Amino acid sequence: MKKQTTLALAAAVLLSGAVAASAESVKPMAHDTLNLTSTQQKTAWNDINKTASIQSAPANFDATAGAAMPSSVKVSVVPSKAARDVPALRPYDFAMVQGKLLIVNPADKKIAEVING
């Protein structure tokens, strides 16, 4: 009986570790809107602006929340430092266009938030 209890306890410990590890690896889902606080926006700008290259966009492109990203604009994954500092950014991509940081939903390429530097 003692051996069965020990085995059951060991199995429960192993299973709880696997469940916790898989929960940590689940990436939150991106949406078409994101409302960062001004502090989060400043942090995101500071973290991303250091390494991002500024791109130009088509003449008729209006970089506003809800707009679709033109296919000619390169979108990148949010850097790990920015995702750590502002966890809400984890599921998003970004682009720097015409001096604006565009936070983009990778699923449908819609701009979720525009951050001005």
Comparison of pLDDT for 54 and 101, the residue scoring more = 101
Query: Is 59 within the bounds of a domain?
Result: yes
Query: Residue 79 and residue 58: Cα distance in Å, rounded?
Result: 25
pLDDT averaged over every residue in the chain: 82
Query: Is 2 within the bounds of a domain?
Result: no
Give percent of the chain with pLDDT exceeding 70.
77
Query: Residue 50 and residue 55: Cα distance in Å, rounded?
Result: 14
pLDDT at position 64: 94
CB 117 within 8 A of CB 74: no
pLDDT at position 29: 82
Token pair 């469940």 is found at 19
Query: Is 14 within the bounds of a domain?
Result: no
Query: Is 11 within the bounds of a domain?
Result: no
- Distance between alpha carbon 32 and the CA centroid of its chain, in Å? 12
Give the pLDDT confidence of 14-40 residue by residue, as tens digits: 444 544 444 445 567 888 789 999 999
Residue 64 belongs to a domain with what CATH number?
Answer: 3.10.450
CB 117 within 8 A of CB 101: yes
Query: Is 108 within the bounds of a domain?
Result: yes
pLDDT at position 31: 81
Query: Is 20 within the bounds of a domain?
Result: no
Q: Is the pLDDT of residue 107 over 90?
A: yes
Query: Is 23 within the bounds of a domain?
Result: no
Domain count, the chain: 1
117: how many CB neighbours lie within 10 A of its CB? 11
Give the pLDDT confidence of 79-94 residue by residue, as tens digits: 999 999 999 999 999 9
Query: Is 3 within the bounds of a domain?
Result: no
* Parent domain of 62: 28-116
